[in-house]
Amino acid sequence: MTTQQLENSVQDKNSPEYWDEVPNPAEMSFFDHLEELRQRIFVSLIAVLLSAIACFAFVKTIVAWLEVPAQGVKFLQLAPGEFFFVSIQVAGYTGIILAAPVILYQIVQFVLPGLTRKERRFLAPVVFGSSILFFAGLAFAYYVLIPAALKFFIGYGGDVVEQLWSIDKYFKFILLLMFSTGLAFQIPVIQLLLGMLGIVSSQQMLSGWRIVILASLILGAVITPSTDPLTQSLLGGAVLMLYFGGIGMVKLIGK
């Protein structure tokens, strides 16, 4: 590359038009897009299925780990095959987690051709941050929310009734709470995307703090399958912290 070509390349990268361009745009018909989407969904489903089958081989170990927050409560199988269907649920949810890198890769590859250079610069941090926050949400639910909720239920009426729980109901409770919390932890990512696209500024996000506090309380009540105020307050407080943290990130990128 000559000196003149190098200077032109630097000038191009410094121009707004360069970053707003879609590099190497590919012409595809609507049906081609549908076919590509179908293939990527198929690959993602295969990845989830294979991961779930692999998890099913170790499902008893996973179940034992998920029973730890129950603090020694005895579980009952109230119907024939109940534990078998619980095992399938646990293997399915765990399989989705293990297949998450493949699913994310398929999503990125599908949307990448339509992104500008500027948008592509933020793609890797957004995907990485979203993954970290999702697993942080799972950990927060497992180590904070679930023990708090179960402690409340065990303590309330523990001197009146013996704690014997349906294993099916227990796992529906904790799996729903863990995954819904993981999704709730995506709030900063959504804020960052809205800020990068210029839809909402950090100042606008901050000005609606009263509505956000009310929404966090409602979200905590809706997401948590339990009705105890402690679990709802913990999740609502976490949502608030994530929201204000998202405002800080949007402000850092100058939006």
Spans of all domains in the chain: 29-252
Is residue 55 over pLDDT 50?
yes
Predicted TM-score (pTM) of this structure:
0.75
Question: For residues 164 and 76, is the Cβ–Cβ distance under 8 A?
Answer: yes
Could you tell me if 247 and 202 are in contact, meaning their C-beta atoms sit under 8 angstroms apart?
yes
**Which whole-number Å values give the CA distances from 236 to 175, 184, 214, 248, in the listed order?**
19, 10, 9, 19
Q: What is the predicted pLDDT for the residue at 206?
A: 77
For residue range 109-166, what is the model confidence (pLDDT) as tens digits?
877 776 677 667 777 777 788 888 888 888 988 888 888 888 877 776 666 777 778 8
How many CA atoms lie within 13 Å of 226's alpha carbon, on the beta-carbon side? 26
Cβ neighbours of residue 52 under 8 Å, at least 6 residues apart? 91, 92, 94, 95, 96
Q: Is the pLDDT of residue 245 over 70?
A: yes
Q: How many residues does the chain have?
A: 255
